[in-house]
Structure 1
Amino acid sequence: MSVTALKPYHFPAKDVRENFPAPLLYIGWEDHLLFCAPVALPLPADTPFGALAQAVLPGIYGYHPDFAKIDWGCVEWFKSGQPWTPDPAKSLQDNGLGHKDVIRFRTPGLTGIGGSFS
Protein backbone atom coordinates (compact mmCIF):
# COMPACT_ATOMS: atom_id res chain seq x y z
CA MET A 1 0.00 0.00 0.00
CA SER A 2 1.45 3.35 -0.95
CA VAL A 3 1.42 6.38 1.30
CA THR A 4 0.88 9.97 0.19
CA ALA A 5 2.41 12.57 2.48
CA LEU A 6 0.67 15.89 2.83
CA LYS A 7 3.98 17.71 3.22
CA PRO A 8 7.67 16.76 3.11
CA TYR A 9 9.13 15.14 6.18
CA HIS A 10 12.60 13.85 6.88
CA PHE A 11 13.80 11.54 9.60
CA PRO A 12 16.72 9.18 10.08
CA ALA A 13 16.06 5.50 9.48
CA LYS A 14 15.92 3.55 12.74
CA ASP A 15 16.71 0.14 11.25
CA VAL A 16 20.25 0.84 10.06
CA ARG A 17 22.97 -1.64 10.94
CA GLU A 18 24.58 0.68 13.48
CA ASN A 19 21.47 0.51 15.71
CA PHE A 20 21.78 -3.25 16.32
CA PRO A 21 24.34 -5.36 18.21
CA ALA A 22 24.98 -7.37 15.02
CA PRO A 23 23.54 -7.53 11.49
CA LEU A 24 19.96 -8.81 11.46
CA LEU A 25 19.28 -11.99 9.53
CA TYR A 26 15.69 -13.09 8.89
CA ILE A 27 15.29 -16.89 8.80
CA GLY A 28 12.08 -18.74 7.95
CA TRP A 29 11.16 -22.43 7.89
CA GLU A 30 8.98 -23.24 4.89
CA ASP A 31 5.88 -25.45 5.20
CA HIS A 32 5.65 -25.13 8.97
CA LEU A 33 2.55 -23.17 9.94
CA LEU A 34 3.49 -23.06 13.62
CA PHE A 35 5.85 -20.23 12.59
CA CYS A 36 3.92 -17.53 10.75
CA ALA A 37 6.91 -15.45 9.68
CA PRO A 38 10.70 -15.52 9.57
CA VAL A 39 12.47 -14.76 12.83
CA ALA A 40 14.88 -11.82 13.02
CA LEU A 41 18.19 -12.68 14.66
CA PRO A 42 21.19 -10.43 15.33
CA LEU A 43 24.09 -12.62 14.17
CA PRO A 44 27.73 -11.54 13.82
CA ALA A 45 28.85 -11.43 10.19
CA ASP A 46 31.69 -13.85 10.95
CA THR A 47 29.33 -16.59 12.19
CA PRO A 48 29.92 -19.75 10.15
CA PHE A 49 26.82 -20.61 8.14
CA GLY A 50 27.03 -24.19 9.44
CA ALA A 51 26.53 -22.88 12.98
CA LEU A 52 22.94 -22.00 12.11
CA ALA A 53 21.86 -25.65 12.02
CA GLN A 54 24.02 -26.69 14.95
CA ALA A 55 23.87 -23.79 17.40
CA VAL A 56 21.29 -21.18 16.39
CA LEU A 57 18.19 -22.82 14.90
CA PRO A 58 17.74 -25.47 17.65
CA GLY A 59 17.02 -22.64 20.09
CA ILE A 60 14.48 -21.11 17.73
CA TYR A 61 12.72 -24.07 16.12
CA GLY A 62 13.88 -26.99 18.28
CA TYR A 63 10.61 -27.44 20.14
CA HIS A 64 8.80 -28.33 16.89
CA PRO A 65 8.52 -32.14 16.59
CA ASP A 66 9.81 -32.06 12.99
CA PHE A 67 13.05 -30.29 13.91
CA ALA A 68 14.80 -33.40 15.25
CA LYS A 69 13.95 -35.20 11.99
CA ILE A 70 15.69 -32.69 9.69
CA ASP A 71 18.30 -34.15 7.36
CA TRP A 72 20.46 -31.02 6.97
CA GLY A 73 22.14 -32.52 3.91
CA CYS A 74 18.81 -32.43 2.06
CA VAL A 75 17.62 -29.00 3.19
CA GLU A 76 16.73 -26.62 0.36
CA TRP A 77 17.83 -23.02 1.01
CA PHE A 78 16.37 -19.87 -0.51
CA LYS A 79 17.75 -16.33 -0.49
CA SER A 80 15.36 -13.57 -1.51
CA GLY A 81 12.97 -16.24 -2.79
CA GLN A 82 15.52 -17.87 -5.11
CA PRO A 83 17.14 -21.30 -4.68
CA TRP A 84 20.53 -20.85 -3.07
CA THR A 85 23.39 -23.11 -1.98
CA PRO A 86 25.32 -21.69 0.97
CA ASP A 87 28.74 -22.97 1.98
CA PRO A 88 28.46 -24.15 5.62
CA ALA A 89 32.20 -23.62 6.22
CA LYS A 90 32.07 -19.95 5.18
CA SER A 91 30.81 -17.08 7.30
CA LEU A 92 27.42 -15.46 6.84
CA GLN A 93 29.18 -12.49 5.23
CA ASP A 94 31.24 -14.72 2.92
CA ASN A 95 28.00 -16.41 1.86
CA GLY A 96 26.77 -12.98 0.74
CA LEU A 97 24.47 -12.29 3.68
CA GLY A 98 24.18 -8.81 5.09
CA HIS A 99 22.00 -6.69 7.35
CA LYS A 100 18.27 -7.48 6.98
CA ASP A 101 18.72 -10.23 4.38
CA VAL A 102 16.07 -12.96 4.32
CA ILE A 103 16.77 -16.67 3.95
CA ARG A 104 14.34 -19.57 4.16
CA PHE A 105 14.80 -23.29 4.33
CA ARG A 106 12.59 -26.17 3.21
CA THR A 107 12.86 -29.63 4.71
CA PRO A 108 11.70 -32.18 2.10
CA GLY A 109 9.36 -34.77 3.58
CA LEU A 110 8.59 -32.63 6.63
CA THR A 111 5.49 -30.51 6.20
CA GLY A 112 4.37 -29.46 9.66
CA ILE A 113 2.85 -31.29 12.59
CA GLY A 114 1.19 -34.41 11.23
CA GLY A 115 1.68 -33.16 7.66
CA SER A 116 -0.57 -30.17 8.34
CA PHE A 117 0.91 -28.21 5.43
CA SER A 118 0.42 -30.89 2.79
Structure 2
Amino acid sequence: MSVVALEPYSFPAKDVRENFPAPLLYIGWEDHLLFCAPFCLPLPPDMPFGAIAAAVLPGIYGYHPDFAKIDWSTVQWFKSGQPWSPDPARSLAENGLKHKDAIRFRAPGLTGIKGSFS
Protein backbone atom coordinates (compact mmCIF):
# COMPACT_ATOMS: atom_id res chain seq x y z
CA MET A 1 0.00 0.00 0.00
CA SER A 2 1.46 3.35 -0.96
CA VAL A 3 1.38 6.43 1.23
CA VAL A 4 0.72 9.97 0.06
CA ALA A 5 2.16 12.66 2.33
CA LEU A 6 0.06 15.80 2.54
CA GLU A 7 2.92 17.83 4.03
CA PRO A 8 6.73 17.65 3.74
CA TYR A 9 7.87 14.36 5.21
CA SER A 10 11.46 14.92 6.26
CA PHE A 11 13.10 13.54 9.38
CA PRO A 12 16.24 11.54 10.22
CA ALA A 13 15.93 7.76 9.96
CA LYS A 14 15.80 5.99 13.34
CA ASP A 15 17.06 2.62 12.09
CA VAL A 16 20.58 3.69 11.08
CA ARG A 17 23.52 1.54 12.18
CA GLU A 18 24.68 4.07 14.80
CA ASN A 19 21.47 3.55 16.81
CA PHE A 20 22.15 -0.16 17.52
CA PRO A 21 24.80 -2.00 19.57
CA ALA A 22 25.85 -3.92 16.42
CA PRO A 23 24.68 -4.16 12.81
CA LEU A 24 21.27 -5.84 12.51
CA LEU A 25 21.08 -9.08 10.56
CA TYR A 26 17.80 -10.76 9.58
CA ILE A 27 18.04 -14.57 9.60
CA GLY A 28 15.24 -16.86 8.40
CA TRP A 29 14.80 -20.62 8.06
CA GLU A 30 13.18 -21.66 4.80
CA ASP A 31 10.35 -24.22 4.77
CA HIS A 32 9.57 -23.92 8.47
CA LEU A 33 6.19 -22.32 9.10
CA LEU A 34 6.57 -22.34 12.89
CA PHE A 35 8.54 -19.11 12.37
CA CYS A 36 6.46 -16.47 10.61
CA ALA A 37 9.35 -14.14 9.81
CA PRO A 38 13.13 -13.93 10.00
CA PHE A 39 14.66 -13.04 13.35
CA CYS A 40 16.43 -9.69 13.54
CA LEU A 41 19.62 -9.86 15.60
CA PRO A 42 22.38 -7.38 16.43
CA LEU A 43 25.56 -9.29 15.56
CA PRO A 44 29.13 -7.97 15.67
CA PRO A 45 30.66 -7.58 12.20
CA ASP A 46 33.87 -9.34 13.30
CA MET A 47 32.02 -12.52 14.38
CA PRO A 48 32.95 -15.53 12.21
CA PHE A 49 30.06 -16.58 9.99
CA GLY A 50 30.40 -20.16 11.30
CA ALA A 51 29.41 -18.93 14.75
CA ILE A 52 25.90 -18.28 13.45
CA ALA A 53 25.17 -22.01 13.15
CA ALA A 54 27.19 -22.97 16.22
CA ALA A 55 26.30 -20.25 18.71
CA VAL A 56 23.42 -18.07 17.47
CA LEU A 57 20.85 -20.27 15.73
CA PRO A 58 20.53 -22.89 18.52
CA GLY A 59 19.20 -20.16 20.80
CA ILE A 60 16.48 -19.05 18.39
CA TYR A 61 15.59 -22.16 16.40
CA GLY A 62 16.84 -24.93 18.71
CA TYR A 63 13.44 -25.81 20.17
CA HIS A 64 12.13 -26.82 16.72
CA PRO A 65 12.21 -30.64 16.37
CA ASP A 66 13.98 -30.41 12.98
CA PHE A 67 16.83 -28.23 14.22
CA ALA A 68 18.86 -31.11 15.69
CA LYS A 69 18.57 -32.93 12.34
CA ILE A 70 20.27 -30.20 10.29
CA ASP A 71 23.37 -31.32 8.40
CA TRP A 72 25.16 -27.98 8.22
CA SER A 73 27.45 -29.22 5.44
CA THR A 74 24.44 -29.40 3.10
CA VAL A 75 22.65 -26.20 4.13
CA GLN A 76 21.84 -23.84 1.27
CA TRP A 77 22.25 -20.15 2.09
CA PHE A 78 20.49 -17.21 0.46
CA LYS A 79 21.31 -13.52 0.71
CA SER A 80 18.54 -11.14 -0.31
CA GLY A 81 16.78 -14.05 -2.03
CA GLN A 82 19.77 -15.16 -4.12
CA PRO A 83 21.86 -18.33 -3.62
CA TRP A 84 24.95 -17.47 -1.60
CA SER A 85 28.05 -19.34 -0.38
CA PRO A 86 29.43 -17.71 2.77
CA ASP A 87 32.84 -18.68 4.12
CA PRO A 88 32.31 -19.93 7.71
CA ALA A 89 35.86 -18.98 8.73
CA ARG A 90 35.53 -15.37 7.60
CA SER A 91 33.74 -12.66 9.56
CA LEU A 92 30.24 -11.41 8.82
CA ALA A 93 31.74 -8.23 7.35
CA GLU A 94 34.25 -10.21 5.25
CA ASN A 95 31.32 -12.21 3.89
CA GLY A 96 29.78 -8.93 2.73
CA LEU A 97 27.07 -8.67 5.38
CA LYS A 98 26.11 -5.20 6.50
CA HIS A 99 23.45 -3.48 8.59
CA LYS A 100 19.91 -4.77 7.89
CA ASP A 101 20.94 -7.46 5.39
CA ALA A 102 18.68 -10.51 5.16
CA ILE A 103 19.93 -14.08 4.92
CA ARG A 104 17.99 -17.34 4.89
CA PHE A 105 18.99 -20.98 5.04
CA ARG A 106 17.39 -24.17 3.76
CA ALA A 107 18.21 -27.60 5.16
CA PRO A 108 17.64 -30.16 2.38
CA GLY A 109 15.23 -32.90 3.43
CA LEU A 110 13.75 -30.86 6.28
CA THR A 111 10.45 -29.23 5.41
CA GLY A 112 8.77 -28.37 8.69
CA ILE A 113 7.29 -30.47 11.46
CA LYS A 114 6.53 -33.90 9.94
CA GLY A 115 6.97 -32.42 6.43
CA SER A 116 4.20 -29.84 6.95
CA PHE A 117 5.73 -27.47 4.38
CA SER A 118 5.93 -29.99 1.54
Equivalents in 1 of 2:2, 2:96: separation in Å? 30
**Is 1:7 matched with 2:27?**
no
Equivalents in 1 of 2:9, 2:27: separation in Å? 33
Query: What percent of counterpart residues are identical?
Result: 83
Deviation at 1:7, TM superposition (A): 1.2
**Structure 1: any 5+ residue segments left out of the alignment?**
none
What one-letter code is carried by the residue in structure 2 that aligns with 1:93? A
Equivalents in 1 of 2:3, 2:66: separation in Å? 41
**Structure 2: any 5+ residue segments left out of the alignment?**
none
Deviation at 1:10, TM superposition (A): 1.3
State the Cα RMSD in Å: 0.5
Equivalents in 1 of 2:18, 2:7: separation in Å? 29
Structure 2 partner of 1:71: 71
What one-letter code is carried by the residue in structure 1 that aligns with 2:30? E
TM-score normalized by the length of structure 1: 0.99
Q: How does 1:23-38 map to 2 (within 5 A)?
A: 23-38=23-38
Equivalents in 2 of 1:53, 1:7: separation in Å? 47
Q: How does 1:13-92 map to 2 (within 5 A)?
A: 13-92=13-92
What one-letter code is carried by the residue in structure 1 that aligns with 2:57? L
- Residue correspondences, number: 118
Q: Residue 37 of structure 2: SS of its match in structure 1?
A: coil
TM-score normalized by the length of structure 2: 0.99
Structure 1 partner of 2:112: 112
The answer to which of 58-67 and 5-14 deviates more is: 5-14
Q: Residue 26 of structure 2: SS of its match in structure 1?
A: strand
